Structure 1
Amino acid sequence: MLQQVSSEHFQSLMKQHCPLHLPDGSRLPTRIEAIELRPQARLPENPRIPFNVMLRSLEPTDFIDGLCSLELPQLGRIDAVFVSREPPQGRDPALGYFNIVFN
């Protein structure tokens, strides 16, 4: 299923709420902040252009990283998506800033 996910699936969700289903079963409200295409990382045999999705939590969280699930309108629930936390770097340190890499 992850191979079917493309950056276009996230375009309609830009700046909208997209809850993450965390490994412990809880839901973390997040907002999609940016989508970054990574064409230089594309393998010749793979037609999909790799991309990153940047998320911001809408409430404080201790979640660091792990395999999560999320809902995409065109594909439904996507499981086993690895989400990693990034440092706040001048942003609100109480919130979580996350990155998802789709290669």
Structure 2
Amino acid sequence: MLDRLAADHFTPLLHQTLRLGLPDGSALATRVDSVQACPQARMPHAPADRRMPFTVTLTALEPTGFAGGPCTMELPECGLVQGIWVERLAAMGRDHGGAYFQVVFN
């Protein structure tokens, strides 16, 4: 399933709440901040039908100690998707009390 996800699955969720199912069984409410295609990450001789690599950035809507790992996400067109690796990002100029995440799809 993960290999069939594309940026188009996340674009309708921009600026909306997306709940992550965390590895410990809890849930974390996040906001989808951006969905960006990464054409420079595409292999030079990749078949034309292979998805374009993309990233999704998220901001936690509540305090969390979650640092990253495999999560589940409920996506409108796909249902519950498991095994999505979510990685915490450094605040880098943002509120240091917040929690920011990135999902990379190659």
- If the length of structure 2 is used for normalisation, what is the TM-score? 0.93
Match of 1:53 among 47, 56, 65: 56
- 5+ long unaligned stretches in structure 2: none
Letter in 2 for 1:92: D
Aligned to 1:75: 78
The answer to whether the 8 A contact 1:61-1:94 is kept is: no
Offset of residue 71 of structure 1: 0.7
The answer to whether the 8 A contact 1:68-1:80 is kept is: yes
Aligned CA RMSD, in angstroms, stands at 1.0
Moved over 6 A (4+): none
Offset of residue 90 of structure 1: 2.1
Provide the aligned length of Structure 1 versus Structure 2. 103
- Deviation string 1:7-47 (CA, Å, 9 cap, x unpaired) is 00001100000011000000000000001111122231352
Query: What is the CA–CA distance in structure 2 between the aligned matches of 1:71 and 1:18, rounded to whole Å?
Result: 8
- 5+ long unaligned stretches in structure 1: none
Letter in 2 for 1:91: R
Is 1:86 the counterpart of 2:61? The answer is no
